[in-house]
Chains A and B, each alone.
Chain A
Amino acid sequence: MRFVYSLLFVLTLTSISSGAKKQPIDFVRDIKPILSDRCFNCHGPDAKTRQADLRLDLKEEAFAALAFEGNRVIHPGRSGKSELIQRIQSEDPDLKMPPTESKLELTHEEIDLLTRWVDQGASWDNHWSFEAPVRPSLPKTKDKSWSTNEIDHFILKRLEQAGLSPADQATPTTLIRRLAFDLTGLPPSLEQVKQFTVNPSSQTYASLVDELLENKHYGERMAATWLDVARYSDTFGYQVDRDRYVWPYRDWVINAFNQNLPYDQFVIEQLAGDLLESATDSQRIATTFNRLHSQKVEGGSVPEEFRTEYVADRTHTFGTAFLGITLECCRCHDHKYDPFTQKEYYQLFAYFNNIDEAGLYSYFTTSTPTPTLRIFNEDQKKAIADVEQTIIREVAKLNELATAKNKGFNDWLTNRKVTKEIIGLEQELTFEDGNTGANKSVEGRIGKAVELTGDDAIGLSVGNYSRNTPFTVSLWLNTPEIKERAVVFHRSRAWTDSASRGYQMLIEDGRISVSLIHFWPGNAIRVRTKDILPPGQGHHLSMVYDGSSQANGLKIYLNGKPANIEVVRDNLYKNITGSGGDNIAIGQRFRDKGFKQGMVDEFKVFNRQLSDLELKHLFDTKTLQTTLGTVTAELNAEQKQHLKQYYLYLFDEAYRQQMAVVKSARDQRSKLIDGAQEIMVMEEMAKRRTTYLLNRGAYDQPDEAVVAATPAIFGDSEKQGDRLTLARWVTSPQNPLTARVYVNRIWQMMFGKGLVRTPEDFGSQGAIPTHPALLDWLSLKFIESGWDTKALIKQIAVSSTYRQSSHASEIQLATDPENDLLSHANRFQLPAEMLRDNALLTSGLLVDKQGGPSVRPYEVAESFKPVARGSGEQLYRRSLYTYWRRTAPAPVMMTLDAAKREVCSVARERTSNPLHAIVLLNDPQYVEAARKMGENLIKEFGDNHQAAVAKAFQLLTSRPVSKAELAVISNSFQEQLAYFRDRPDETNKFLATGDAPRDMNLAAEQVAAMAMVINLLLNYDECVVRQ
């Protein structure tokens, strides 16, 4: 368990630094971790579970006087007068701390340590990582020649204190191989190795570092690591786990690293690129970072429950990725160990809670969950801008025609005929025949009506209108009560399961709402009556739409007159058709609340926007006759106005033609837009969503409302701002965590372990830095450099510390088994991506293309949820581009310890596992690579197998083979040759692995034997271990 480790670690450091028991105890290093781990659970920041009203995380309270016997909780210098010490030393079960039922214990060593700390005066410091770094002075070392730059002073000083010497510099071949993998994820070319080994000077080395940092593969290597942080996945996750289009974000990350975007800018764009002034598409795509959490589609789920999860995931990711703090705890209660309250959690949560998103994505359609960015190239953008201009122009013309003097109108007025027929009726249901199926036939306003069960829809055979088509739906309706929600009618496949795509009339909180929807809520228009519809009486309702895709073109008519409405959403930018459920249905929808016991009558659908005159007539069934039958002289102003509109819509050729022109321009726009790829991004809602503190973190238990703010522990907290405020706060040079957390991860990348061994937790329960001053020095330097990642990496790469050999002496191993002091370099197996990319590159199979959609190499067909593998180039791209399915990730990558990417992850674990060996031996990707390299070498060297084997060794380890090694490998080659020579059929089978065509001109058994030798070398320590 970790606390055991921590203690060992503490003791080790103590013994390293002095060896003496009585040296002063360091509060941060020695004491705080014990208090935090064993005491804070009941005597820490969480007010709700605090016992005896005692806090041990605050100095004032911990040192407070107690009322009896002159004791204090902690009495500096006097353990005998310190209640804390008496309690932890007590054997009395009623007094003993930690109490037995907590199942926490202190060891004798820990009790001794705490006692001595009190006796030594109980020095107290605030938690190191929440205090701003202070520039440390460079330590003076005895050895003046070893250090290359400042890093080395810090490292060497500690080594000297521990009586250790640094290791020798690594051999040039080891060093260049290490550097190339660390910076580009690929091995150095033989040419690069040759050039460097000829002249391995510091200058050559430094320019090699520059060269690799400028290599385009640098961005890919950095991105592979960042994608773990961003929990990147090509699918939505949870049960159904469909594909989603997010790879442009990956391309953004690669480019950002290659262009060396300053880290503060890198953070700002991902958190809030959409809020930057004149944000570019690229800056918006950066915000996809916040949408890469899992998303739900499973039928029957409660949308708000999952929307809450999404916001929580964003918040946790923000905490882990940028601040190295664990916010998860304070979702349900105040943090047990760190000074963050539950309220502060929801104040951070509030920053991420303001986008117009749904809790579920759409099961029946492929709509992208809103908010989205549509991806267009420049030509498309221009074409769309042009057509938008056309629409504005043609709509203006239409409006002019409506207001211009119109001779035709007067002629028509004179000659008009009286009629009660309304043009454009596509279907009507009067329910007179009483044939209502499961629903009930009841007395209606006119003859019979239908009373709905709420579970049985009445289907029509019309209604599949595009968003550019004007239409009208009217009906009589009577609701038995003020309903919270009921579906009156709709044209859609489903509710949340298709994000309501289509159009609909609902009762919501007793009000009538009508909507046109591509994806609810972010891509839709909705208007709603302001007044509650009185229950128990009949109302005539019409939904009238003009084809404009705008809320002001969508109206509700109540009893023949425009209802008093408010706009709920006005952001429809894509089609509303194409989801199934093509015709109108009344009274019920899949998994929605039906219109139970609601009555409906005289249901009519028109393929045009009706005029006010007609809408009034639908209500009173007489307006047409009376108005059309009134002589012109007796018409009042309203009647004249109605007749004018009626005339324009139906009889004025110029107006009608112009309506067609407008529609055709809108159709043209749809053509340009509807096929566009969309990507999920961040976009603030105009009206801020209220964030509540959620009791126990549950979506359905809102407590007090909170405003967005940063945690108080960091001083001047930002209030009321948006994500950009938050992004600027987190990247402020004054923020004590951001630079440290990032610098630590770069260190981890270059040394295998961070200076802080818990990169995900810089709080009380996290590890303290092995070299606190170095971490602070690097962080301040990093900020001063303008958050220059490449400069930071170079600083580390050229240090003597980095350049050490990984060979450890016995004394180094004995004194510092974890290599905390960095007396030598660390050896560790290459990450999953590098193992595979190495095989692809050295065999000549690598398709060196940058960016683009994910690809499906062999292994995806073997995943728990197999998907068809790709072919051709798809098999040979760098592993960073491998299709990542959240619930069944690439199985070889998973075996080889790639991050699961369910949630933000800032370090990969490294395991030692026979399953690694099994995949590296038998995975067809590696077997094929061995075969291709075998062919290349047989082609190059013919019968000179020794030379071929030697070259293979060098390709895969970057160094020349020794005589003894050559003997072993050559022997292995001969054994394999003998095996294959006797077995032509087996040989052919063996050579059939992988899609890459065989070179039939080469001797099969030689290629096969060579392939086996390469298979051996692909498993050899120096090939798979970064050393």
Chain B
Amino acid sequence: MNSNSSQQCTGFDSPWGLSRRSLLNRFGMGLGSIALSQMESSRMLHAREGVLKEVHHTPKAKRVIYLFQSGGPSQLDLFDYRPELEKVHGQQLPDDIRKGQRLTAMSGNQASLPMVKSPFKYKQHGDSGQWISEVLPNIAGIADDICIVRSMYTEAINHGPAVTHMQTGSQFPGRPSMGAWLDYGLGTENDNLPAFVVLVTKNKGGQPLLTRLWGSGFLPSRYQGTRFRSGQDPVLYLSNPQGLNADARRQMLDGLKELHQLKLEQQSSPDLESRIAQYELAFRMQQSIPEVTNTADEPEHTFKLYGEAAKNPGSYAANCLLARRLAERGVRFIQLYHPGWDQHGGLVGGLRNQAKETDQASAALVTDLKQRGLLDDTLIIWGGEFGRTNYCQGKLNGDNFGRDHHPRSFSLWMAGGGVQGGVTHGETDPLGYNIAENGVHVHDFHATILHLLGIDHERLTYKYQGRRFRLTDVHGEVVRNILT
């Protein structure tokens, strides 16, 4: 039961990790007098601790940036080079490959399932010689920094369950998301910013994303991700009402504080003290969030690195840049979503377009963090919820074909944070349908991420409805081969 959890604010410890006395010392004197620049230094408050008083082993990564490519990027056309498909192009998918596995009801009833080669050229890149498709030239440029996992698999065959699986460890709604688990387990390093921030590329169609993907499930709601909006207010109603400036708001808050203190003088009340602190924090967030989201202070070479699109708030490139700024300020889990990878048809143009929107900025983020010395303790993940079929969905008409959802194998890459660069892990069969070796299940993937953050995935648990839940349910093996 949430309200009984010892992490829950009981009214007797401040949820922000301050003792009653220090709260009064800090805020009782009036925070209005503290200069703004000091607030921006952002470490005024002690970090809020997580439930794990200490991690289980020395962590390699302190934070995660997850570049979620929503819709199911076609691994056969990006990372999983299967030249054999060129030979069997147009032929029916052999039954002994399919093995009677369930297909989606979209192509499952198709009378004909012709296999289709990748329309894109592959080359080996970097000293490591990783195979990467021509549509991702910039990611190819960081081949030696990334670990490509070609052997991911899941059970889910549709977007909703599959994305939910990747983000929460369960296909069905109701479980906490990975970021919520980490906030719960590790706490935050910067109390003026949420520990778990979500950035969604604006104006993209594709499969809808749901708030529960960054929800807290049965964990207390303060662990849920905070989605930064791309518009005026990065956080819901962050701005003062029109016509009211920060000074007037400060004056009003000073009045509110005085009124609260009058009450406090009459009867001591820990939760009232906590309320006073809340309003001061709220005021500081009104400064600190716009400070991080406003990228006007970035030099021109930043935009060269990430691309001109980074100047357009809400674009994938701008979100990648923002992710770096959040990482610099100690945000624990930064979750990006870029929808549109669902190429059921028109794959050639569709995939090129998706790649164009994401390739440069994804690579730029790795490079930028590396230059700043942040890549070593920041784990970057690039990937979607499942792969796509080696056969064509609908009719195979020249280049205008599509691929259906494919849970049996898909690719993603990781960089930094204790993962080896320049490594390809896992292998699919020559036709790119089933996994041939070193399969990595979603639960294994989660176990590995937690491991990199210093957490034994079996020991970060939360009791709900009488049972101890964890991100990896009752599964998960750390993929040790890819660790530094």
Contact = CB atoms under 8 A, between A and B. Distances in A.
Interface centre among A300, A972, A990 (most CB of B within 10 A): A300
A296 B251 CA distance: 50
Nearest to A891: B236
B255 interface: yes
B275 interface: yes
Given A298-B159, A300-B104, A496-B105, A979 B251 contact: yes
A281 B258 CA distance: 56
B207 interface: yes
B244 interface: yes
B9 A919 contact: no
Contacts of A862: 236-237
Q: Indicate the member of B3, B102, B220, B245 with the most A CB atoms within 10 Å.
A: B3
Contact of A979 (B248, B255, B282): B248
A591 B210 contact: no
A946 interface: no
Interface in B425-484: 456, 458-459, 461-463, 465-467
B36 interface: no
Contacts of B400: none
B329 to A, nearest CB: 16
B72 to A, nearest CB: 12
Interface string B5-18: 11011111001000
A922 interface: yes
Contact of A900 (B106, B215, B236, B405): B215
A888 interface: yes
A1 B466 contact: no
B272 interface: yes
B237 to A, nearest CB: 4
Contacts of A892: 236-237
A924 interface: yes
Contacts of B466: 36, 326, 329, 336-338, 761, 763-766
Interface in B209-240: 209-212, 215, 220-222, 226-227, 235-240
A872 interface: no
Nearest to B256: A1016
B261 to A, nearest CB: 9
B251 A238 contact: no
Nearest to A360: B105
Contact of B221 (A296, A760, A887, A911): A911
A918 B285 CA distance: 9
A316 to B, nearest CB: 10
Interface stretch (A89-97, A127-135, A621-629, A981-989): A981-989
Interface in A232-275: 237-241
Interface in A892-946: 892, 894-895, 897, 900, 902-903, 907, 909-919, 921-924, 927
A767 B458 contact: no
B381 interface: no
B274 interface: yes
A965 B261 CA distance: 10
A179 to B, nearest CB: 21
Interface string A281-318: 00000000000001010111110000001000000000
Interface in A870-888: 887-888
B157 A300 contact: yes
Interface string A375-408: 0000000000000000000000000000000000
Interface residues of B, number: 90
B2 interface: yes
A913 B222 contact: yes
Interface string A947-971: 0000000000000001011001101
A454 interface: yes
Contacts of A48: none
A428 interface: no
B263 interface: yes
Given A918-B235, A983-B243, A965 B462 contact: no
Contacts of B255: 968-969, 971-972, 975, 1013, 1016
Interface residues of A, number: 113
A965 B260 CA distance: 9
Interface in A579-627: 591-594, 596
A588 B143 CA distance: 46
B371 interface: no
A119 interface: no
Interface string B243-282: 1110111011011101110110001010110110011011
A765 B463 contact: yes
B250 to A, nearest CB: 10
Interface string B388-421: 0000001100000000110000000000000000
A907 B109 CA distance: 45
A591 B105 contact: yes
B4 A758 contact: yes
Nearest to A985: B243
A976 interface: yes
Contacts of A985: 243
A2 B2 CA distance: 9
Contact of A976 (B211, B248, B269, B278): B248
Contacts of B248: 975-976, 979, 1012
Contact of A917 (B3, B211, B278, B404): B278
B174 A902 contact: yes
A969 B257 CA distance: 11
A169 to B, nearest CB: 16
A1020 B259 contact: yes
A594 B256 CA distance: 70
B465 A760 contact: yes
A1021 B260 contact: yes
B172 A309 contact: yes
Contacts of B242: 986, 989-990, 992-993
B237 A827 contact: no
Q: Kindly name the residue among B245, B267, B278 whose own CB sees the greatest number of chain A CB atoms within 10 A.
A: B278
A300 B405 contact: yes
Nearest to A992: B242
A642 interface: no
B10 A818 contact: yes
Contacts of B252: 972, 975-976, 1012, 1015-1016
A911 B220 contact: yes
B158 interface: yes
Interface in A317-358: 326, 328-329, 336-338
A1000 interface: no
A14 interface: no
Contacts of A728: none
Contacts of A1015: 252
Nearest to A8: B6
Contacts of B272: 1021
Interface string B197-213: 00000000001111110
B111 A453 contact: yes
A794 interface: no
B302 interface: no
A329 B11 CA distance: 33
Q: Give the 10 A-B CB pairs with smallest separation, nearest first.
A: A765-B466, A990-B243, A454-B111, A972-B255, A300-B104, A989-B243, A917-B282, A986-B243, A914-B281, A596-B111
12 contacts: A103-B459, A300-B104, A326-B467, A453-B111, A760-B1, A760-B465, A892-B237, A903-B173, A911-B15, A976-B248, A990-B241, A1013-B255
Given A766-B466, A972-B254, A1020-B256, 10 more contacts: A309-B172, A326-B465, A453-B111, A757-B3, A763-B466, A910-B3, A910-B9, A921-B237, A979-B251, A990-B242
Interface of A: 1-5, 8-9, 36, 103, 237-241, 294, 296, 298-302, 309, 326, 328-329, 336-338, 453-455, 496, 591-594, 596, 753, 757-761, 763-767, 807, 817-818, 827, 862, 864-865, 887-889, 891-892, 894-895, 897, 900, 902-903, 907, 909-919, 921-924, 927, 962, 964-965, 968-969, 971-972, 975-976, 979, 983, 985-993, 1008, 1012-1013, 1015-1016, 1019-1022, 1025
